[in-house]
Amino acid sequence: QGQLVESGGGLVQAGGSLRLSCAAPGIMFSLYAMGWYRQAPGKERELIAQITNGGDTNYVDSVKGRFTISRDNDKNMVYLQMNNLKADDAAVYYCHAIPGVGPWGQGTQVTVSS
Q: Give the full edge-to-edge strand order of the sheet including 18-23.
A: 5-7, 18-23, 77-82, 67-72
Residue 36 burial by CB count (10 A; 0-12/13-18/19+): exposed, middle or buried? buried
Which contiguous run of DSSP H or E holds residue 27?
Answer: helix 26-31
User: Stretch 56-65: mean pLDDT, rounded?
Assistant: 98
The whole-chain average pLDDT of the chain stands at 95
- Give the confidence band of 1 by pLDDT, cuts at 50, 70, 90: low
